[in-house]
Amino acid sequence: MPEFITEWLNQNEIFTAMTMMEYWDGLVSTVQLVFLSLVIGLVLAIPLAIMRTSKNHFVSGPVWIFTYVFRGTPLLIQLYIIYYGIAQIPGIQDTFWWDIFKEPFYPALLAFVLNTAAYTTEIIRGAIVATPNGEIEAAKAYGMNWFMRMRRIILPSAARRAVQAYSNEVIFMLHSSAIASVVTIVDLTGAARNIYSRFYAPFDAFIAVALIYMALTFLLVFLFRKLENHLLRHQRPAGSS
């Protein structure tokens, strides 16, 4: 941070350069955590959603159980179970797993990934099921096999229907990530709690962090509108740009 900004900030009572750096570090870990869990969650959710639509119960059943367990329990409980539960497994501290699960970041990432994968699976599944029969019949008439139908017709068509519901999931995930602070991760909320307890100024600390979350949400909303426009450009009236 340049010297003159530091000096200017240090005139503040609460929002000093140190406080700002704490919020910045919090922003970085929130964005990392949410971005990684959404990407991994989405990658997991696409095959899971296809499995979930399978007529074979041995394929769709386990996915059904997975989504019901993770959608049926609060994320906070899942995080507690993964974070504190893993540390209670006898002997875990001597295995290489401990290098991963010792830090709070990976248990939190695991909980977030599983949670968002469950919700995203159901969103994509809904979109796949809603594919118009005509599209599938036309693809069959062209002689496309299952894989090609999936890749060229069903998934792109489902993506268009899923994108609006998925943008909500992304925003919910950003807001749910606030609970990462209970397992000692200093994310945005963790930074706000530290600052609150240092200055006993709940309004200042939490309103500042609320504004940051809001700015992030607006950014996401904006990006998803661009994406929607891109995916649904064929539905626009002819002549409009």
Partner 1 sequence: MKKLFVAASCALAMAAGTVQAKDWKEVRIAFDVPYAPFEYKDENGELTGFEVELAEAMCEQMKADCEFVIQAWDGMIPGLLARKFDAIMSSMSITPERAERVLFSEPYYNTPGGWFGRTDFNTDVTDMEAMKGKTVGVQRGTTMDTYVTEEMADVVTIKRYTTADDMVLDLEGQRLDVVFVDYPVGEQTILSKEGFKEVGEPVKLGEGVGVAMRQRDKDLAGKVNAALKKLKNDGTYDTIMQKYFSYDIKM
Considering only residues 80 through 139, tell me which ones interact with partner 1, judged by CB under 8 A. 84, 87-88, 93, 98, 102, 104
Positive or negative, the CA dihedral 4, 5, 8, 14 is negative
**Closest by Cα among 43, 45, 14 to 201:** 14
| C-beta closer to partner 1: residue 6 or 217 | 6
| Site membership for partner 1, residue 160 (CB under 8 A) | no
Considering only residues 68 through 87, tell me which ones interact with partner 1, judged by CB under 8 A. 84, 87
| Site membership for partner 1, residue 194 (CB under 8 A) | yes
| C-beta closer to partner 1: residue 43 or 76 | 76
In the complex, what is the shortest distance from the CB of residue 102 to partner 1, in angstroms, rounded to a whole number? 6
Cα(50)–Cα(29) distance, rounded to whole angstroms? Answer: 32
Q: Which of 54, 164, 197, 229: binder of partner 1 (CB under 8 A)?
A: 197
Q: Which residue has the tokens 């607006």?
A: 218
| C-beta closer to partner 1: residue 41 or 107 | 107
| Site membership for partner 1, residue 193 (CB under 8 A) | yes
| Site membership for partner 1, residue 182 (CB under 8 A) | yes
Residue 126 · residue 162 · CB < 8 Å:
yes
Q: Which two tokens stand for residue 82?
A: 């993964």
Segments of the chain assigned E as strands: none
| Site membership for partner 1, residue 207 (CB under 8 A) | no
Residue 213 · residue 175 · CB < 8 Å:
yes
In the complex, what is the shortest distance from the CB of residue 162 to partner 1, in angstroms, rounded to a whole number? 38
| Site membership for partner 1, residue 229 (CB under 8 A) | no
Three-class SS state of 60: helix
Cα(47)–Cα(96) distance, rounded to whole angstroms? Answer: 29
Three-class SS state of 29: helix
Positive or negative, the CA dihedral 194, 199, 202, 203 is negative
Q: Which of 200, 234, 237, 238: binder of partner 1 (CB under 8 A)?
A: 200
Interface with partner 1 by CB under 8 A: which range of 27-35, 160-168, 170-178, 181-189?
Answer: 181-189
The letter for the amino acid at 198 is R
| C-beta closer to partner 1: residue 1 or 87 | 87
Q: Which two tokens stand for residue 143?
A: 């002689």
| Site membership for partner 1, residue 164 (CB under 8 A) | no
Interaction site with partner 1 (CB under 8 A)? 84, 87-88, 93, 98, 102, 104, 182, 184, 186, 190, 193-194, 197-200, 202
